Amino acid sequence: MKTKPLREITKDELQRFLQAKTNGDACMSCGQSTWIFDGGSEGLYPGWIWGSPKPTEHTLQYLDPSKTAVPLLVMTCINCGFQRAHDVHIVAGWIDDHPERGEK
């Protein structure tokens, strides 16, 4: 998949995506619908960069995101702490393709 440069994704855009493409915004662990969005205050930004462990001698000391980095939008359930993450490129691509109303 060819990816575009990352851009800000607003809470409204993410909510629209979640309503159209998932089973809603209920937590998969406890069923509550109250989330903390890990990102900027003006909009959502990539929350985590997931990388491959980079060995240094006999220990794994840090992640090397240059290998398999995937920017993610991360949400944490306020009730139970469960975290869910969505690939930024997939969310942004769907939002760009569906600017006004959501479709599955």
* Gap between the Cα atoms of 92 and 38, Å rounded: 16
Question: Pick from 43, 51, 53, 52: which is nearest to 6 by CA?
Answer: 43
pLDDT at 102: 46
Taking only the tens place, the pLDDT of each residue in 16-57 is 998 899 987 899 999 999 988 776 555 566 556 666 555 665
pLDDT at 48: 61
* Gap between the Cα atoms of 27 and 95, Å rounded: 22
The reported pTM is 0.69
Q: With a cut of 80, say whether residue 7 has pLDDT above it.
A: no
Question: Could you tell me the sign of the dihedral formed by the alpha carbons of 77, 81, 86, 87, in that order?
Answer: positive
79: which DSSP letter? T
Query: Which one has a higher pLDDT value, 64 or 7?
Result: 7
Question: Pick from 82, 86, 4: which is nearest to 39 by CA?
Answer: 86
Taking only the tens place, the pLDDT of each residue in 51-88 is 655 566 555 555 555 556 677 888 899 999 999 988 88
pLDDT at 97: 93
